[in-house]
Amino acid sequence: MTRHIQFIACLFVTVCTGLAFAQDNSTNSPVAFVYASSSPSANHYEINAFTADANGKLTPVSGSPFPANVQNMAVNAKYLFGTNGVNIYSFSIARDGSLEKVASINAQKFNGYKCGGPIALFLDHTGTTLYDEDIYGNICANNTYQYFSIDESTGELTYRGATGASLTVSQPPSFIGNNIYAYGSGSYEYNPYISGVKRSRDGTLADLNINPAMPVARQGDFYDPWGAAADRTNHVAISVLPFNGTTWQQDGPTQLATYTAGASGNLTTKSTFSNMPTSAVKYVTDISMSPTGDLLAVAGTAGLQIFHFNGANPITHYTGLLSQDQVDQLFWDNHNHLYAISHSANKLFVFTITPTSVNSAPGSPYTITNPQNITVLPKT
């Protein structure tokens, strides 16, 4: 009887120990891989790779930083893609987040002009088609979007085509939830525009023939838009900067507009100068929508700020500036973590942000010499 009781006790301890070990493994499993390209010295580039835990704490991946002649990046479930302005390189992502270069393609040669090339990379929601913003893709002047199919087994890219050259192509567009329509905004010689593209099932892009109205401005003013961040339904946030129509001087801080995409891809807005919030970031450098679509992160020359995003209803204030350093690029994971890089401050910030709380993650900010770009692969 005693030996039987001892056996049960040992079995109980073994099972409990196993459960505890499994819980520890679950707790310590990374929630995201974080990749930041950097240039620690002239003409030298590398990719800093991290795992992020549930609290947002970053741990360098074994072998990081990885030598890679890339500045801008994008990532899907299996591959990281990076460009140096001429070539696009494919890197396989190992189970621990480490990188290995597996393919490359000269993207510049497809535009026919060696004065241009890929300057920004982005993917659709499925991660099956890679796009780049091709600067000077037409007669060394106007820009285009190139698109490439991805070989899932090898990471090799195949050029599929490009959109028509346009002045309105100034940054990667943001896809709404249907993965069909994507939007961007900007201006040329103070002529504002909000542009869109339509994605076909095979991944090709076509320009949307739309001309959405700008938000109603204060009398005598007009708005200059920049950037776009879509939620996973059919709403798009756009930053707008007011200018006086007579003096052509800035007439107030940046404000934030919201648009709604219709079934045909056209955008409408109820935003006006009186219902749009103002931002303290000064000149916007990036805007990014949280995966849940209820938070909007806005980066700028004066720092970083978070707003409540309310779909078609006006955007509302949430935080003041979370950083006094200029912030250049933003990226969310699926666990309420926001990652932000600052070129001038050599920093990578990590925050845990929900609609009711904001906290700096353990160890943040991290030092990275001359960070160039950031991309994040959510693991859960």
Beta strand segments in 139-189, E: 142-150, 157-162, 174-175, 181-188
CA dist 128 and 202 (Å) reads: 9
Task: Note the pLDDT of residue 319.
Answer: 98
Query: Averaged over 2-7, what is the pLDDT?
Result: 40
Q: Which residue has the tokens 């590398």?
A: 46
For residue 135, which of 157, 160, 162, 104 has the smallest C-alpha distance?
162
CA distance 119 to 86: 8
Question: What distance in Å separates the CA atoms of residue 202 and residue 4, rounded to the nearest whole number?
Answer: 65
257: Cα within 13 Å, side-chain hemisphere: 29
CA angle 315, 55, 329 (to 5 degrees): 50
149: exposed, middle or buried (Cβ count in 10 Å: 0-12, 13-18, 19+):
middle
Task: Give the span between the Cα atoms of 322 and 270, in whole angstroms.
Answer: 29
Q: What is the pLDDT of residues 179-202, one digit of tens each?
A: 999 999 998 887 899 999 999 999
Highest mean pLDDT among 7-11, 20-24, 81-85: 81-85
Tokens 């926001």 label which residue?
A: 338
Q: What is the pLDDT at residue 112?
A: 80
Question: How do residues 297-341 score in pLDDT, each as one tens digit?
Answer: 999 999 999 999 999 999 999 999 999 999 999 999 999 999 999
Please answer whether residues 271 and 308 qualify as being in contact, where contact means their C-beta atoms are separated by less than 8 angstroms: no
Phi and psi for 108 in degrees, rounded to 5?
Answer: -60, -35
Structure tokens at 18: 């196993």
Q: What is the rounded distance in angstroms from the CA atom of residue 85 to the CA atom of residue 88?
A: 8
Whether residue 192 has a cis bond before it, omega within 30° of 0? no
Amino acid at position 53, single letter? D
Structure tokens at 116: 């241009």
Q: Which pLDDT score, from 0 to 100, does residue 258 have?
A: 98
The average pLDDT across 135-158 equals: 92
Asked if 137 and 109 count as a contact pair (C-beta separation under 8 A), the reply is no
Pairing of the two strands 205-207 and 191-199: antiparallel
Q: Report helix, strand or coil for 37.
A: strand
Q: How confident is the model at residue 165 (pLDDT cuts 50, 70, 90)?
A: confident
Confidence label for 203 from pLDDT (cuts 50, 70 and 90):
very high
Write the burial class of residue 211 (CB in 10 Å: 0-12 exposed, 13-18 middle, 19+ buried). Answer: exposed
Q: How far apart are CA 49 and CA 312, in angstroms?
A: 37
Q: Is the pLDDT of residue 26 over 70?
A: no
Question: For the residues of 222-261, what is the DSSP string, one character each?
Answer: EEEEEEEEE-SSSEEEEEEEEEETTT--B-S--EEEEEEE
Query: pLDDT band for position 285 (50/70/90)?
Result: very high
The rounded distance, in Å, linking the Cα atoms of 211 and 56 is 41
Q: What domains are defined for the chain?
A: 2-378 (2.130.10.10)
Task: Summarize pLDDT for 95-109 with one digit per residue, the tens.
Answer: 999 999 999 999 999
Q: Which tokens go with 330?
A: 């933003």
In the structure encoding, which two tokens stand for residue 150, read together?
């991805």
Work out the burial of residue 340: count CB atoms within 10 Å of its CB; fewer than 13 is exposed, 13-18 middle, 19 or more buried. buried
Q: Could you give the dihedral angle defined by the CA atoms of residues 143, 144, 145 and 151, in that order, rounded to the nearest 10 degrees? A: -110
**The one-letter amino acid at 129:** T
pLDDT digits (tens, 9 = 90+) for 41-72: 998 999 999 999 999 999 999 999 999 999 99
- Nearest one of 288, 338, 334 to 309, comparing CA atoms: 288
